[in-house]
Amino acid sequence: MEILIIRDAVTRHELNDMAKQQFGDMVKAVVDVEQGIMAIGGELHSDEEAVLLDQGSVQQHLWGINLYPERLASEWIEFDSMINVRPSGGNRSRYVESAETRDIVTTIVNRLVTG
pLDDT digits (tens, 9 = 90+) for 68-103: 999 998 999 999 999 999 999 999 999 999 999 999
Q: What is the pLDDT of residues 8-37, one digit of tens each?
A: 999 999 999 999 999 999 999 999 999 999
Sequence-ordered strand ranges (E) for 8-52: 10-11, 27-32, 37-40
What is the reported pLDDT for 115?
82
Enumerate the domain spans of the chain: 4-114
Question: What's the rounded Cα separation, in Å, for the pair 61 and 75?
Answer: 23
Residue 73: predicted pLDDT: 87
Residue 35's contacts (CB-CB under 8 Å, 6 or more residues apart) are: 57, 61
Model confidence at 1, pLDDT cuts 50, 70, 90, reads: confident
pTM for this model (two decimals): 0.96
3-state percent helix, strand, coil for the chain, nearest multiple of 5: 40, 25, 35
- Tell me, what DSSP letter sits at residue 45? H
Q: Pairing state of beta strands 62-67 and 77-78?
A: antiparallel
